[in-house]
Amino acid sequence: MSQITIYHGSQYIIEKPTFGVGNPRNDYGSGFYCTRDINLAKEWACTEEKDGYANTYALDTNGLKVCRLLGNEYNILNWLALLLQNRYFRISNDVAGNAKAYLISKFLPDVQDVDVIVGYRADDSYFSFANSFLNSLLSLDQLENAMYLGELGEQTVIISEKAFSQIHFEGFQPADRKIYYPKRIARDRDARQAYKEQRSLQQTLDAVYILDILREGWDNDDARLRRNIS
């Protein structure tokens, strides 16, 4: 048996996560969103006005199919394609609209039979990077640097009914908003600063934008794509 400890930050104590009730417009669709970092869970749990809880669970991964988007068999466009399928993106022009369809058709990972997805968490700050790339405001290199070098946080998402049956509540820890909400704000501030720094960088002549990917017909095996390194 392979067992891992995961945490879910919330305003509530959740002893039994329920299959099928998650928001389908989250990063990876409907599911139970957790992290293996208890401090991140506490940050996600707090608001400016309210304390929260880091709910603790043991997940038995035996027999589960796990998709690790951070593995070196994937690239940043796989992650982006999954976001495009589930989240709402601002489409500012025809190029962005065509790019959305193209990325989903060429780079969307097959997660139909997956029980658990492990990948980056696209909070509001980092989601803006993906949105800017889609709308030709960031190059591929800038997007990759922002994602790989930033402190995104890794999330473990329970997707299937089978995975929900193998998660067991072990307790909770309180999250004090006076401690963890400022940390959440600081993380967001750092992300926005990183975004500004990436936008201000002078691009090289060979910088690749989304229109270049469309024109040149890149696919998932293109050697120019940087593979994930974690």
Q: Which residue has the higher pLDDT, 186 or 198?
A: 186
**β-strands 66-68, 116-120 pairing:** parallel
Residue from 7, 69, 56 nearest 36 by CA:
7
Q: Name the pLDDT band for 144 (thresholds 50, 70, 90).
A: confident
Q: For residue 178, give every residue at least 6 positions away whose Cβ sits within 8 Å of its Cβ, in sequence order, or none.
A: none
Residue 149, pLDDT > 80, answer no
Report how far residue 154's alpha carbon sits from residue 35's, in angstroms, rounded to the nearest whole number: 6
Residue 1, pLDDT > 80, answer no
pLDDT tens digits for range 21-80: 878 888 898 999 999 999 999 999 999 999 999 999 999 999 999 999 888 889 989 998
pLDDT at 25: 83
**β-strands 52-60, 167-175 pairing:** antiparallel
Looking at every residue in the chain, the average pLDDT score rounds to: 88
pLDDT at 8: 97
pLDDT tens digits for range 4-24: 999 999 999 999 999 988 788
pLDDT tens digits for range 103-133: 999 999 999 899 999 988 767 766 778 888 8
